Chain A
Amino acid sequence: MSDLGIVDDQSASYLDIDDILMTENKISCRARYDLVDLELRRTAEDFHEGKKVDLPIWMAMRLNEFFRHEIPKQYNTHFQGILNADPEVVNLHKEGPKYFAMGLQLTSENFDFADDEDIINMCQTLLQASARRVSWISDMAAADHYQQSKVDSKLDDMEKEMYAKAISERKSWEDWTRGMSNRLTESKFIAKSRKRKRDALAQKNN
């Protein structure tokens, strides 16, 4: 998910696979009124007022009038405190692989959380955390190769893209300083096709 701005844009996010995956995440909602005969979970059920159910975000956004939403665990005040303290250490991949995108989605108007101020604070926290993590990522990308998989497992999707790009840029830079960028190399496609032909011939002969 490279461009976080598409979270708000209806036409851009409709077909974007990252956005689809992100809105598939569940949010716990409480019914506001007594609802009869809903088929949210494949069977007709009755909801009394205040009954809890887990709905995916895309559904929860549209059913705003009938459900009150709750902030998920990874965005609540307690977790905000953790992020504010030390954002580089937190494993954002575990907290939902699209942490930042989902955070931005939660700020849209369709949600009705009990505590509006908390959302504003969450946005501030996200902003500060993302600023610090971005500089940390660029530092890590310039460091040794041994740490790569360790760092990679802690990043959420948007950061993973940044990290991969930074690593590839650094590699092309190092190739250039050693003068290897002027060499012609065989394309991988050709090399693979040649190897397959050789394997097929070897099998025929056996």
Chain B
Amino acid sequence: MATILPCEIEFLAEDELIKVTPRFREARLQMISGNYGPFAPGVPLKIPIWMAMNLKSRGLVIVHQPRWMSAEKLKEWLDSENADNTNAIAPLHYHYREISRMILQNCRDNLSDVTEIEQLIEDIWNVRVSKLKMSCKNVLKERWQNEIPDHGGVFKVNNFTQMEVNFIRANFLKGLNVSFVMSNKITDIEQKAAAHQLADDTTNTSSFPTGSSASTLSQFTQSQTQN
């Protein structure tokens, strides 16, 4: 089962645009991912984060704090996360964890409230991940009580970012696989046991499709919304 590394997700997040103020003059750059407009000192514009980090490390730009990354907004988000015990709130930015890590590592002098923001992001992450883990545990514990459909079941996950889902991916998928294999085994032997019992009944000679109820149940695509 292939998984994706956190640094690879960060790589995907680096394509997001961020506002910067350049300190140099340059004509329009035509790159594969898009055109990034003429750079003039003091004129803010939006460029992708990978470009921004590189220019920042060379001292050529000033990075602006993203609008969603202010202490007040993050505090609001944390409070609403804490208020709701099972669901996750829609994140302020889809890649909040990666972007905040990159910006906090490279652009500390351009930001305000750095330590507070670090703490808030950490707290938000912990709360969300613990909610996700709790849902996973519940799913694993209760999964075998219903009939698991042929394709293994479909689970919907709302409002979680790519990074958080990747955090639990390996173990959760393993657990789902194991319970799937075992549950299929159980249905198999139950069907066979039922077939043995019916074969012992000498009254009915017409062919009775054994285990038909079990197989029709498994035709249902059972999608459980996971909150």
List residues of A whose CB falls within 8 A of some B CB. Answer: 3-5, 100, 104, 107, 109, 116-117, 119-120, 123-124, 126-128, 130-132, 134-135, 137-138, 141, 158, 162, 165-166, 169, 172-173, 176-177, 179, 181-182
Contacts and interface: CB of A to CB of B under 8 A. Distances in A.
A163 to B, nearest CB: 9
A6 to B, nearest CB: 10
Given A116-B196, A138-B168, 12 more contacts: A104-B181, A104-B182, A127-B186, A130-B178, A130-B182, A131-B141, A131-B175, A134-B174, A135-B141, A138-B171, A166-B170, A181-B7
Q: Please report whether the interface of chain B is mostly helix, strand, loop or mixed according to DSSP.
A: helix
Contacts of A182: 7
Contact of A104 (B101, B143, B168, B185): B185
Contact of A176 (B7, B193, B196): B7
Interface in B166-223: 167-168, 170-172, 174-175, 177-179, 181-183, 185-186, 188-190, 192-193, 196
Interface string B109-152: 00000000000000000000000010011001101100000000
B59 interface: no
Report the contact-size class of chain B (Cβ under 8 Å from the partner).
35 or more
B183 to A, nearest CB: 6
28 contacts: A3-B177, A3-B181, A4-B181, A100-B182, A104-B185, A109-B192, A120-B190, A123-B186, A124-B186, A127-B179, A130-B182, A131-B143, A131-B175, A134-B174, A134-B175, A135-B175, A138-B133, A138-B168, A138-B175, A158-B178, A162-B174, A165-B171, A165-B174, A173-B167, A176-B7, A179-B105, A181-B7, A182-B7
Contacts of A181: 5-7
B78 to A, nearest CB: 18
Interface of B: 3, 5-7, 10, 101, 105, 133, 136-137, 140-141, 143-144, 167-168, 170-172, 174-175, 177-179, 181-183, 185-186, 188-190, 192-193, 196
B146 to A, nearest CB: 13
